[in-house]
Amino acid sequence: DVKVTQSSRYLVKRTGEKVFLECVQDMDHENMFWYRQDPGLGLRLIYFSYDVKMKEKGDIPEGYSVSREKKERFSLILESASTNQTSMYLCASSSYRGEKLFFGSGTQLSVL
Amino acid sequence: EDKVVQSPLSLVVHEGDTVTLNCSYEVTNFRSLLWYKQEKKAPTFLFMLTSSGIEKKSGRLSSILDKKELFSILNITATQTGDSAVYLCAVEALDSGYALNFGKGTSLLVTP
């Protein structure tokens, strides 16, 4: 079974802190994605990557950056966390474009 | 403007009822539509639809796509309390670089 692992289930940070959310997949998938999920807004795409060292902006990239130095790892970075970035963050991967996504269990981030 | 619209946003039914969840979309260069079920954290894959008129079926769940009218339905027959979840519809298209664009989801509660 494909496993997508997010490093933290719950995270509490202070406004202005730099935050790293890590995601690792174990199935040699080409594509990796970061979404955030908020009540009433659904899942919104932040960034995605179709290859190592490549990244594409999603619908809401402002305030975020990403890093993909290795195929299996995709990191989401909040350079200076703000309270409006309090959310559930979901990482996902797929073997090729158009294939179904496999999701991690999510990280609930609270920025105080 | 939302490209993927799900309705209803929430639904409460009794065990044994049949439910129909709707998903309409408006995207450029549609490639596929996917349904996911989200109970706790990670969404889990249900169906992928690419061709019009071909029903996908898994047990009590079924789904069909109408590419002319730009919508899909997810049917659940003889509902059980274990079907309680948020059901997510996602569309893959050129608009989003072929990353999945999700609707807000339908929250289904099945009461005993």
Express each pLDDT in A43-98 by its tens digit: 999 999 998 989 999 989 999 999 999 999 999 999 999 999 999 999 999 987 76
Q: What are the b/e assignments for A72-100, b being 16+ CB within 10 Å?
A: bebbbebeebeeebbbebbbbbbeeeebb
Give the distance from CA A9 to its chain's centroid: 13
Number of Cα atoms under 13 Å in the Cβ half of residue B60: 13
More confident residue, A72 or B27: A72
For the stretch B28-56, pLDDT in tens is: 788 899 999 999 778 999 999 988 888 89
- Tokens in use for A110? 């609270």
* Residues in chain A within 8 Å Cβ distance of B97: 48, 56
A106 touches chain B (CB under 8 A): yes
Interface of A with B in 31-90 (CB under 8 A): 33, 35, 40-45, 48, 56, 58-59, 88, 90
∠ at Cα A33 (A92, A25), nearest 5°? 45
- In percent, how much of chain B has pLDDT > 90? 72
pLDDT, greater one: B79 or A50: B79
Report the share of chain B in percent with pLDDT over 70. Answer: 94
